[in-house]
Amino acid sequence: METFWDFFSFTDANVRYVTFGAILVTSSAAIVGCFTFLRKKALVGDAVAHAVLPGVCLGFILSGVKDPLWIIIGAFITGWLSLLLMDQIISKSRIKEDSAIAFILSTFFGLGILLLTWIQKSGNAAQSGLDQFLFGKAAALVGNDLIVFSVVAIILIVLVVLFFKEFQLLAFNKDFAQSMGLPIKLIEFISTSMTVLAVVAGIQAVGVVLMAAMLITPPAAARYWTNNLQKMLLLAAVFGGFSGLAGAYISYLAPSMPTGPWIVVVVSLIAFFSFFFAPEKGIIPLARLQKRNQQKITDENILKGLYHLREDEKHLKQKFTFDELLEKRPMHKDRFHKSIKRLSRKSFIILDNHSLDLSESGLVVAKRVVKLHRLWELYLSEFLNKTPDQVHDEAETIEHLITPELERQLEVRLNFPNKDPHDEDIPY
């Protein structure tokens, strides 16, 4: 706990720098990644992330020192080269996109590892720490490294703000953008260069192996919470930045631990939380909605069953036993009793020792369901030319779905009829 306060009080200047740098590079990657994600280039992003490794090594070999500027230039060149090669393979050969991506990723990464091993064997003392670019080490974000990587990250954020509407259009509808005369080739070039740069900016904190996760996971999580592109960019930046902060903390706590995996674990947890719990789109809210729909159908069917029983008795008898109702409307016992409990709690039915009756409000609901069922049957037979024996099953589900607006439309369209296709009364 003490280290926790040591870290989060940010009294140590070093901690401040590392944290600031980690947040900046992860959040800028997340923002740029939103467009990679929306352009459906996630796998391409992964290939590029791996393809910067030989560039990192070449930058080192050519300069002889671990200078971030050389490393960025090298990484940028091989990153772009991998993209060009992928495009050429897809357009000029019979190899399809997925194979081209896999081919380029493994070739470039293999080459990178080869060079890295060669450098390590060469005995150059300056190479120590180069292997950190594989899985990242946020704690190394100090001095020159911090300045260079942060500047790249800031440039990326500024470019997204400047080209926001062009990137939006490119991602949504490229043909249309081109038809307007926007310089689409240039915009694509900038957008793709930014993907490469975002990867490059993140290699110190996250590492090349897992950098693609920083491009794609925050946008994927953010998409669950909003339908607005600006908000999506902001949320992705927050998710990315938070995982960067967590990575910096881990790096402070355990200096020998690579930070990339930790950052990715944190951002993945955010993503999983979003997949499950985001309102409207998450798995659990959707499952609950389905369950509520199921309950509504059961409840309304019981009320409808009671109404049908009343009709059978010409409305002379109003109280019926559970068994009478279950005979009229067979259903699973468990489901039946749960529904009965719900209905009596909402006082749609009046329970009296194993027999039951509709309350005032229950009668209103029951009548409406019966009405909608019969109106829909009539609609199907009049407008879709279905025979009376074909319409019942379809109306069984539709009756629970129809909104008051549709109900009114249906009534007007059919001119408030009295009888359904089976010659039964339509109650109003």
Partner 1 sequence: MNKDEPALLVRDLTAGYQKKPVLWSIYLEVPQGALCCIVGPNGAGKSTFIKTVMNLIPATAGDVKIFGKTLDEGRSRISYVPQRESVDWDFPASAYDVVLMGRYGKLGLFKRAGKEDKRIAMEALGKVGMESFASRQISQLSGGQQQRVFLARALAQEADLYFLDEPFAGVDASTEKAIIDLLREMSREGKTIIAVHHDLQSAPSYFDYTILLNLRLIAAGPTAEVFTDKNLQDTYGGKLTLLTEVGDLMKNKRFPEREK
| CA quadruple 197, 200, 201, 206: dihedral sign | positive
Distance CA 48, CA 328 (A): 65
Residue whose C-alpha is closest to residue 32's, from 155, 205, 169, 206: 155
- Which CB atom, from 123 or from 181, has the smaller least distance to partner 1? 181
Q: Which of 289, 293, 292, 306 is nearest to 340 (CA)?
A: 306
Start-end of H helices in 257-403: 259-277, 283-312, 322-328, 333-345, 360-383, 388-398
- Shortest gap between Cβ of 232 and partner 1 (angstroms)? 5
User: Of 232, 306, 369, 375, which one interacts with partner 1 (CB under 8 A)?
Assistant: 232
From residue 3 to residue 42, the character string flagging contacts with partner 1 as x (rule: CB under 8 A) and all else as - is -----------------------------------x-x--
In this chain, which stretch among 127-135, 228-236, 263-271, 393-401 interacts with partner 1, using CB under 8 A? 228-236
Which lies closer to partner 1 via its Cβ, residue 232 or residue 245? Answer: 232
Decide: is 330 part of the binding site for partner 1 (CB under 8 A).
no
Closest CB to partner 1 among residues 91, 387: 91
Residue type, 218: P
Instruction: Candidates 144, 173, 321, 361: give the one binding partner 1 (CB under 8 A).
Output: 173
Q: Which is nearer to partner 1, 34 or 57 (CB)?
A: 34
How near is the Cβ of 270 to partner 1 at its closest, in Å?
Answer: 18
Three-state DSSP at 350 gives: strand
> Of residues 175, 334, 352, 405, which one binds partner 1 by CB under 8 A?
175
Q: How many angstroms separate the CA atoms of 210 and 150, rounded?
A: 19
State which residue, 173 or 347, has the beta carbon closest to partner 1. Answer: 173
The 64-93 contact track toward partner 1, x by CB under 8 A, reads ------------------------------
| Site for partner 1 contains 44 (CB under 8 A) | no
Report the C-alpha gap between 340 and 332 in whole angstroms.
12
124 binds partner 1 (CB under 8 A): no
Spell 60-88 as b/e; 16+ CB within 10 A means b: bbeeeebbbebbbbbbbbbbbbbbebbee
Residue 357 phi, psi (nearest 5): -145, 155
Q: Which of 33, 101, 46, 83 is nearest to 212 (CA)?
A: 46
Distance in Å, CB of 396 to partner 1, minimum = 24
CB of 234 to partner 1, least distance (A): 12
CB of 61 to partner 1, least distance (A): 39
Cβ-based neighbour number of residue 166 at 10 Å: 18
Q: Between residues 40 and 121, which has the closer beta carbon with respect to partner 1?
A: 40
Helix axes 13-38, 164-172, angle to 10 degrees: 40
Among 15, 23, 141, 177, binds partner 1 (CB under 8 A): 177
Return the residue of 124, 193, 226, 355 that touches partner 1, per CB under 8 A. 226
d(CA 427, CA 371): 6
* Cβ nearer to partner 1, comparing 63 with 168: 168
The CA distance from 251 to 141, in Å, is 11
278 binds partner 1 (CB under 8 A): no
Helix and strand tally (H, E) in the chain? Answer: 19, 3
Rounded Cα gap, residues 412 and 265, in angstroms:
58
Is residue 123 near partner 1 by the rule CB under 8 A? no
Query: Which of residues 88, 93, 117, 179 is near partner 1 by CB under 8 A?
Result: 179
Contact characters 129-168, partner 1, x per CB under 8 A: ---------------------------------xx-xx-x
Amino acid at 94: R
Of 176, 189, 273, 416, which lies in the binding site for partner 1, with binding defined by CB under 8 A? 176
Q: Which two tokens stand for residue 312?
A: 């059978």
The answer to the question of residue 172 lying near partner 1 (CB under 8 A) is yes
Q: Which of 223, 371, 373, 374 binds partner 1 (CB under 8 A)?
A: 223
Q: Is 180 in the site for partner 1 (CB under 8 A)?
A: yes
Residue 169 interacts with partner 1 (CB under 8 A)?
Answer: yes
Provide the terminal-to-terminal Cα distance of the chain, rounded to the nearest Å. 68
Query: Using CB under 8 A as the criterion, which residues of the chain lie in contact with partner 1 when the complex forms?
Result: 38, 40, 162-163, 165-166, 168-169, 171-173, 175-182, 223, 226-229, 232
